[in-house]
Amino acid sequence: MRVVEGGVCAAKGFTANGIHCGIRKNHSKKDLSLIVSCVPASAAAVYTTNLVKGAPLTVTKKHLENGVAQAVICNSGNANTCNANGIRIAEEMSELTAKALGIRAEDVIVASTGVIGQPLSIDPIAAGLPELAAGLSAEGGKAAAEGIMTTDTVMKEVAVEFTLGGKTCRLGGIAKGSGMIHPNMATMLVFLTTDAAISPEMLQKALRGDIAETFNMLSIDGDTSTNDMVTVLANGLAGNDTVTAEGADFAAFMKALNSVTIALCRKIAGDGEGATKLLECKVTGAADLMTAKTVAKSVICSSLLKAAMFGADANWGRVLCAIGYSGAQVDVSKVDVSFRSPAGTILVCQGGAGVDFSEEIAKTILLEKEIEILVELNSGEAKSTAWGCDLTYDYVKINGDYRT
Torsion of CA 187, 193, 194, 198, to 10 degrees: 70
Strand residues in 235-291 grouped as ranges (E): 278-286
Q: Going edge to edge, which strands form the sheet with 370-376? A: 353-354, 344-350, 336-341, 370-376, 278-286, 382-389
140-151 per-residue burial string, b: 16 or more CB within 10 A, e: under 16: bbbbbbbbbbbb
- Report how far residue 44's alpha carbon sits from residue 201's, in angstroms, rounded to the nearest whole number: 8
Distance CA 155, CA 18 (A): 12
Single-letter amino acid, residue 83: N
8-state DSSP, 241? P
Instruction: Find the angle CA(399)-CA(221)-CA(359) to the nearest 5 degrees.
Output: 110
CA–CA distance, 217 with 221 (Å, rounded to integer)? 13
Q: Which of 15, 60, 150, 187 is catalytic?
A: 187
DSSP-assigned letter for residue 207? H
Q: Distance (Å, rounded) from C-alpha 321 to C-alpha 305?
A: 9
The CA distance from 13 to 27, in Å, is 30
Active site residue 187: yes
Q: Where are the beta strands (DSSP E) in 84-126?
A: 108-115
Q: Which residues are bridge partners to 162 per DSSP? A: 169
Under 8 Å between Cβ of 12 and 159: no
Residues involved in catalysis: 187
